């Protein structure tokens, strides 16, 4: 299995499920971790096999566009209860329950780029006050209110980070003494400029080299050829203090947080690399970081497993902010989150950028998220950047064949209903 891609492994699971000639298939988030092109292939395969074998499918997902594309009926669950059900077009087109409306409003699709998205928690609290929700339900936690309009532009636009001919290779064959004799090129001579104060997104399918490139910037993977520049200087020739201005938020918050440490220690770990602050100082810093990222400062003694996925991602963002970075590398920060939590994290990132003049290099295969948060977009395919430019130009008027294929594969509510 480890020799297969995520999409191939999912095909194996589908084949196993259909091998017993079932009457019902339960598909639990079958496309959550897949990029849009592979997702489209898996959904088409699932639909074709179900139709050919007259098999019913119970699809469990948080992707409303996938629901609109694949399902005949939909059931909306909130706090363990089904709060709305009906034909897919009816429920999504004319939602009756406050929670269903909040889910749809939390989608970045069709929203003004860089505007604040409506969060489900805030919408449900408002609905509760209007008696749309039973008064016996406990209120959901609500993040601090943020302005609905897009934040003001900041930064002079001068290059903060540059990649010039950057190449990353992994050894794939070794001789008898263990020296590599053949390599696989993951990133092939890419050129990229990240202006200060802006958000540059790299979008592409899984395995195209996005994460390899980001890991090279922070020194986790060696650069085989080319040059990385920060503030006009060779990145790897800079002193440690300057390089600390570049921090990373990893894709999976659960695996990137030490399960044996309380969050005050996790969030302040970067501060202990060269200095030895007192425990009291570290705890005070952790409490301040919690406030910055929308967590309760009283929770600093809790362990990672006591937090939800979105809260763990806030912890990871807080850890990155602990050393006052100027450039944040965000590797798929919302890919493991449902649409309501995704909206909260996107709002948080936009608010932090506006408040602290941060620069983002955002990695994702979610085109709707990229469109919402980005100033500039680079499209990566098989280790190369095949198209880049202003976000609206690249995503609305793509020039490269792969970019057009990528955009055609993106599931949207409008496209799903138009084709139904």
The whole-number pLDDT of residue 129 equals: 60
In a domain, 270, yes or no: no
Residue 404's CB: how many other CB atoms inside 10 A? 13
pLDDT tens per residue across span 332-341? 888 878 888 8
Whether the model pTM is above 0.85: no
Tell me how far apart the alpha carbons of residues 291 and 88 are, in angstroms, rounded to a whole number.
Answer: 40
The whole-number pLDDT of residue 409 equals: 83
Q: What is the CA radius of gyration of the chain?
A: 23
In a domain, 69, yes or no: yes
The whole-number pLDDT of residue 314 equals: 93
386: helix, coil or strand? strand
The whole-number pLDDT of residue 408 equals: 86
In a domain, 398, yes or no: no
In a domain, 279, yes or no: no
In a domain, 122, yes or no: yes
pLDDT tens per residue across span 286-308? 999 999 999 999 999 999 999 98
In a domain, 372, yes or no: no
Q: CA-based angle 13:16:21, to the nearest 5?
A: 135
Segment (H or E) for 126: helix 120-129
For the domain that residue 36 is a member of, what is the CATH number? 3.40.50.300
Query: Structurally, how many domains does the chain consist of?
Result: 1
Domain containing 34 equals 6-129
In a domain, 70, yes or no: yes
The whole-number pLDDT of residue 418 equals: 65
The whole-number pLDDT of residue 144 equals: 38
The whole-number pLDDT of residue 130 equals: 57
In a domain, 278, yes or no: no
Residue 21 zone, left/alpha/beta (φ > 0; ψ -120 to 50; rest): left
Mean pLDDT, 10 residues at a time, over the chain (420 residues)?
Answer: 73 89 91 80 89 93 86 92 94 92 87 86 67 43 39 68 96 89 93 97 90 93 95 93 93 88 95 88 95 93 92 94 95 84 91 94 91 96 95 94 90 69
Crossing angle (nearest 10°) for helices 339-356 and 120-129: 110
Q: In this structure, what DSSP letter does residue 416 have?
A: H
Q: Between β-strands 180-195 and 73-78, what pairing exists: parallel, antiparallel or unpaired?
A: unpaired
Please count the residues of the chain: 420
Dihedral over alpha carbons 275, 276, 280, 285 (to 10 degrees): 20
Segment (H or E) for 395: helix 391-396
């Amino acid at each position: 299995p480890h020799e297969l891609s995520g999409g191939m492994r999912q095909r194996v699971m589908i084949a196993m499920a259909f091998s017993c000639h079932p009457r019902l298939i339960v598909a639990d988030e079958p496309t959550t971790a897949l990029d849009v092109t592979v997702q489209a292939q898996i959904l088409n395969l699932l639909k074709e096999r179900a139709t050919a074998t007259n098999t019913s499918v119970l699809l469990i997902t948080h992707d409303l566009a996938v629901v609109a594309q694949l399902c005949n009926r939909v059931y909306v669950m909130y706090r363990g209860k089904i709060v709305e059900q009906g034909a897919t077009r009816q429920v999504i087109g004319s939602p009756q329950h406050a929670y269903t409306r909040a889910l749809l409003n939390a989608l970045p699709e069709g929203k003004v780029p860089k505007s604040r998205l409506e969060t489900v928690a805030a919408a449900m609290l408002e609905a509760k006050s209007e008696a749309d929700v039973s008064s016996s339900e406990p209120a959901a936690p609500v993040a601090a209110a943020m302005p609905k309009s897009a934040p003001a532009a900041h930064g002079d636009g001068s290059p903060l980070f540059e990649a010039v001919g950057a190449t990353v290779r992994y050894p794939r064959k070794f001789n008898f003494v263990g020296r590599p004799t053949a390599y696989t090129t993951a990133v092939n001579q890419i050129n990229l400029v990240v202006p200060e104060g802006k958000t540059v997104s790299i979008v592409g399918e899984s395995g195209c080299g996005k994460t390899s490139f980001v890991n090279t910037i922070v020194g986790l993977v060696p650069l085989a050829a080319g040059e990385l520049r920060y503030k006009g200087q060779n990145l790897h020739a800079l002193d440690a203090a300057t390089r600390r201005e570049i921090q990373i938020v990893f894709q999976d918050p659960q695996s990137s947080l030490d399960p044996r440490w309380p969050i005050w220690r996790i969030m302040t770990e970067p501060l202990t690399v060269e200095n030895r602050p007192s425990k009291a100082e570290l705890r005070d810093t952790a409490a301040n970081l919690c406030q910055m990222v929308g967590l309760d400062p009283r929770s600093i003694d809790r362990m990672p497993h006591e937090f939800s996925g979105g809260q763990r991602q806030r912890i990871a963002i807080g850890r990155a902010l602990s050393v006052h970075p100027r450039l944040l590398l965000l590797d798929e920060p919302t890919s493991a989150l449902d649409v309501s939590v995704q909206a909260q994290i996107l709002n948080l990132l936009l608010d932090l950028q506006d408040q602290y003049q941060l620069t983002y290099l955002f990695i994702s295969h979610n085109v709707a998220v990229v469109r919402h948060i980005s100033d500039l977009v680079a499209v990566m395919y098989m280790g190369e950047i095949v198209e880049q430019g202003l976000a609206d130009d690249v995503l609305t008027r793509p020039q490269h064949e792969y970019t057009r294929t990528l955009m055609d594969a993106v599931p949207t509510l409008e496209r799903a209903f138009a084709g139904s």
